[in-house]
């Protein structure tokens, strides 16, 4: 047995359900049915309510007539009473309450009670959007043998639409699984990157400790770089914990910690100025950047050296400028050399200054022994420092001095 599935039942609107419900209140069914509403739902309920109202009026009127006129004549008072009861039945669905005896109430309880119970049931059905189809109720098929299950038949268009929907659902599941797998793969790759970065940081910290122990890095620069690396290491550990708990989006690179410069830069302090002075304070060798004329700078430094010896009884070996630069002095047999570092230099760089001055005096001992020094006869020696580079616009013309 083949058949097609019935379409889903439509639920009436709120207005239709309200009108159908009101039809079960007294004579409103007569008014609503007389208006012939377009909604079949409202019209059918109004007809059922009108039928119940008329049945209630007829049965109750018959009982009242038999109770008021038992057969012993017609009285004017009883006729008025009957007219009032019938009018109340027609307008309100109940007789006029005044003057009813217990016997009359018992006689009216059956027609009034049954019809009002049916009206309340119809009102409940109308309010919830249900129907009361008596024809279908009385003409239902009750066969002796159970019916065969109906086989739903579908058109080729429905089958294609169903197949398309299944295919789209399958593709959506595949795409979702692919994104989950890709995110998991990226998460594991990022975890491996973080572990390798943590190993690099630990190696870098060990390298900085090695430089500090051998005097190739100053304590102030070691402290600053160590603080940066420890902060970067803590950020990597927090990200690793979040990834292990799957609390971080691995595809977003904005929240990843940035590697500090201490992880890649060479821990060496650069030099701004290098100068060698003869005993009279005249510069005989200069290199680097001078914010003023080099003769003025070297003269000031020579005066500072002499003044410190007069004031404190010993010459200055190191001083720090207001902007953070550090000046170191080295004294030889014939000359005095000073270097302006951009920051606190490493102990090994101070040793390089001493070695540079010794090499310079050894290579030019004959020239330095007979003052005044002829700078054209000086033999240049390699400078063991890296000078700080500056843009031409930021340095005056007299600041860039080539080695002599």
Q: What DSSP string describes 3-32?
A: E-PPPPPPPPPHHHHHHHHHTTSTTHHHHH
Which H or E element spans position 109?
Answer: helix 102-127
Q: Is residue 364 domain-shared with residue 309, that is, in the same domain?
A: yes
Q: Is residue 224 domain-shared with residue 121, that is, in the same domain?
A: no
- Residue 216's CB is within 10 A of a number of other CB atoms, namely 16
Average pLDDT over residues 134-149: 71
Task: Give the number of C-alpha atoms closer than 13 A to the C-alpha of residue 175, restricted to the C-beta side.
Answer: 6
Q: What pLDDT score does 198 carry?
A: 92
Q: Is residue 367 domain-shared with residue 396, that is, in the same domain?
A: yes
**Range in 85-99, 206-220, 259-273, 363-377 with the lowest mean pLDDT:** 85-99
Q: Is residue 349 domain-shared with residue 279, that is, in the same domain?
A: yes
User: Whose CA is closest to 304, among 335, 276, 329?
Assistant: 329
Query: Tens digit of pLDDT for each residue in 31-81?
Result: 888 888 888 888 888 888 888 888 888 888 787 777 777 666 556 666 777
Q: Is residue 198 domain-shared with residue 314, that is, in the same domain?
A: no
**Range in 168-177, 206-215, 224-233, 321-330 with the lowest mean pLDDT:** 321-330
Q: What pLDDT score does 201 carry?
A: 92
Q: Is residue 161 domain-shared with residue 48, that is, in the same domain?
A: no
Q: What pLDDT score does 71 carry?
A: 60
Which H or E element spans position 277?
Answer: strand 271-277
Query: Can you tell me which residue has the tokens 């009127």?
Result: 61
Q: What pLDDT score does 39 carry?
A: 85
- The model carries a pTM of 0.41
Q: What pLDDT score does 390 carry?
A: 60
Instruction: Decide which of 222, 241, 263 is a domain's last residue.
Output: 263
* Domain presence at residue 145: no
Distance CA 139, CA 97 (A): 41
Higher pLDDT, 299 or 327: 327
Q: Is residue 300 domain-shared with residue 223, that is, in the same domain?
A: no
Distance CA 396, CA 390 (A): 10
**Range in 245-249, 379-383, 389-393 with the lowest mean pLDDT:** 389-393
Q: Is residue 15 domain-shared with residue 32, that is, in the same domain?
A: yes
Flag whether pLDDT at 402 surpasses 60. no
Q: What pLDDT score does 299 carry?
A: 58
Q: Is residue 132 domain-shared with residue 24, that is, in the same domain?
A: yes
* Domain presence at residue 149: no
Average pLDDT over residues 226-240: 91
Flag whether pLDDT at 144 surpasses 50. yes
Q: Is residue 276 domain-shared with residue 242, that is, in the same domain?
A: no
| Structural domain for 320, as ranges | 271-401
- How many domains are there within the chain? 3
User: Whose CA is closest to 20, among 38, 36, 43?
Assistant: 43
Instruction: Decide which of 108, 137, 166 is a domain's last residue.
Output: 137
Flag whether pLDDT at 171 surpasses 80. yes
Flag whether pLDDT at 94 surpasses 70. yes
- When mean pLDDT is compared over 3-17, 37-51, 57-71, 246-260, the highest value belongs to 37-51
């Amino acid at each position: 047995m083949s058949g097609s599935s019935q379409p889903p039942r439509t639920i009436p609107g709120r207005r239709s359900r309200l009108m159908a419900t009101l039809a079960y209140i007294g004579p409103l069914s007569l008014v609503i049915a007389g208006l012939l509403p377009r909604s079949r739902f409202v019209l059918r309920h109004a007809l059922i309510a009108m039928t119940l109202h008329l049945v209630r009026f007829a049965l109750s009127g018959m009982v009242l007539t038999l109770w008021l006129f038992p057969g012993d004549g017609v009285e004017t008072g009883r006729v008025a009473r009957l007219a009032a009861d019938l009018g109340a039945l027609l307008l309100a669905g109940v007789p006029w309450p005044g003057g009813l005896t217990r016997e009359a109430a018992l006689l009216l309880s059956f027609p009034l009670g049954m019809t009002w119970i049916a009206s309340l049931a119809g009102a409940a059905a109308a309010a919830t959007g249900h129907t009361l189809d008596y024809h279908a109720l009385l003409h239902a098929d009750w066969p002796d043998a159970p019916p065969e299950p109906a086989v739903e038949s579908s058109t080729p268009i429905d089958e294609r639409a169903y197949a398309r929907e299944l295919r789209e659902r399958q593709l959506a599941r595949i795409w979702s699984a692919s994104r989950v797998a890709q995110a998991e793969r990226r998460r594991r790759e990022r975890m491996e990157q973080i572990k390798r970065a943590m190993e690099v940081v630990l190696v870098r910290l060990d390298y900085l400790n090695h430089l500090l122990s051998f005097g190739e890095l100053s304590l102030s620069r070691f402290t600053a770089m160590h603080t940066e690396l420890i902060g970067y290491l803590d950020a990597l550990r927090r990200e690793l914990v979040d990834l292990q708990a799957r609390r971080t989006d691995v595809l977003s690179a904005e929240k990843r910690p940035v590697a500090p410069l201490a992880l890649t830069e060479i821990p060496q302090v650069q030099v701004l100025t290098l100068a060698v002075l003869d005993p009279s304070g005249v510069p005989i060798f200069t290199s680097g950047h001078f914010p003023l004329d080099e003769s003025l700078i070297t003269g000031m430094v020579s005066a500072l050296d002499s003044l410190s010896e007069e004031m404190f009884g010993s010459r200055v070996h190191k001083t720090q400028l207001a902007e953070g630069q550090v000046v170191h002095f080295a004294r030889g047999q014939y000359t005095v050399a000073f270097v302006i570092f951009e920051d606190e230099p490493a102990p090994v760089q101070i040793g390089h200054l001493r070695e540079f001055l010794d090499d310079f005096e050894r290579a030019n001992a004959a020239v330095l022994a007979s003052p005044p020094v002829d700078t054209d006869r000086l033999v240049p020696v390699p400078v063991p420092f890296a000078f700080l580079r500056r843009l031409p616009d930021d340095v005056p013309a007299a600041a860039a001095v080539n080695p002599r």
